[in-house]
Structure 1
Amino acid sequence: MSTSRRKFTDEFKADAVQLVVQGQRPIAQVARELEISESSLGYWVKAYRVQHPDPETAPPPTEAARVARLEAEVRRLAEENAFLKIAAAFFAKEQR
């Protein structure tokens, strides 16, 4: 006996996720009502929350700007470190 997998449209998935997110209902309840597995709906909700973080739990803009500045500085320092390693190897060869 082979069972075919059910395919859901993106619109269906979005509607199901909105029932959980906006309706403040548990995933299990919505999954039972729509006759889908809880794990599938859970994955869809998780993906939605990753793509649309809650503004209340997101870091404030000043913190986000600080993190971005620090990440840029880390990238710059890593590039400088790589350059210095190459230069040190070059001068070490030259002295031999």
Structure 2
Amino acid sequence: MMALLILLYAEARPGRPAAPLHRAPATTTSFFPSKPLGCYGDGGASFIEDDGVEDVLRSIRVHGKGDDKYDIVRVGANSRLDAIQATVLLAEIPSFLDEL
């Protein structure tokens, strides 16, 4: 028998994390360049409250890696935010916080 996992995801307002009262077990936000908090390429973040879901998403983020370096347990992707995009976001945070 195959198990089916259905997650409730919420998308935060453009470039802003969701308010705590409106947060689902997993919430995402985008750092697309045209958003208020945007990087120079495409990027995003997930806010997860469940450790099990977090482990699965971290595994998918790094090509489906399991507990061991060569243990591939699922189909994954290379979807990590690179250092340049992270640097841009860190530089934008002070002005973004002033706009809130």
The TM-score range, normalised by the shorter chain, is: under 0.3
- Structure with the higher helix share, 1 or 2: 1
- Structure with the higher strand share, 1 or 2: 2
Q: Give the number of the structure whose alpha-carbon radius of gyration is greater.
A: 1
Instruction: Provide the TM-score with structure 1 as the length reference.
Output: 0.24
